[in-house]
Amino acid sequence: MVEKHDEMGSIFSFIKGQVDKLPISNSKKNKMLDQLLKLKTMTVDAREPRIALVGRRGSGKSSLINAMFGQERQYVSSVKSGTGKGKWLWYPSDANPKIRLLDSRGLGESEAPTEEFEEESPLQELMKAVTEEQPDVFLFLIKAKEADARIEEDLQELNKLRMLVKEKHHYDVPVICVVTQVDELDPPHYKQAPFDANPKKKQNMEEAMMLMSKRFDESDIPLLNIIPICSYIDFDESGNIEYDMRWNIDLLSDYLIEALPSEAKLKTAKAIQSQFVKRKFARTIVGTFTAIAGIIGAEPIPFADFPILTGIQGLMIVVIGFIADKDINTKSASEFIAALGINVGIGLLVREGVRAAVRFVPVAGLAVSGAVAGGVTYGIGQAAIAYFIENKDIDQAKNAYKNANKNFKNEDIES
SS3 90: strand
The DSSP line for 229-251 is: -B--EEE-TTS-EEEE--BSHHH
Q: How far is CA 178 from CA 3, 100, 332, in A?
A: 36, 19, 40
- The pLDDT value recorded for residue 105 is 57
- The pLDDT value recorded for residue 104 is 67
- The parts of the chain modelled with pLDDT lower than 50 are 1-2, 75-84, 110-117, 119, 344-367, 411, 413-415
C-alpha to C-alpha distance for 295 and 315, rounded to whole angstroms? 17
- The pLDDT value recorded for residue 268 is 95
Residue 141 β-bridge partners:
55, 178
Backbone angles phi, psi at 178, to 5 degrees: -115, 115
The structure's pTM equals 0.84
- The pLDDT value recorded for residue 363 is 44
In the chain, where the domains are located: 1-45+276-351+364-412, 50-259
Backbone angles phi, psi at 141, to 5 degrees: -100, 135
Q: What is the CATH number of domain 50-259?
A: 3.40.50.300
- The pLDDT value recorded for residue 280 is 95
Inter-residue contact 329 to 9 (CB < 8 Å)? no
C-alpha to C-alpha distance for 278 and 241, rounded to whole angstroms? 21
- The pLDDT value recorded for residue 320 is 97
- The pLDDT value recorded for residue 174 is 97
E-only strand ranges, 292-386:
none
Strand pairing report for 96-103 and 175-180? unpaired
Torsion of Cα atoms, 43 then 44 then 45 then 47, to 10°: 60
Q: What is the DSSP letter of 369?
A: P
- The pLDDT value recorded for residue 56 is 84
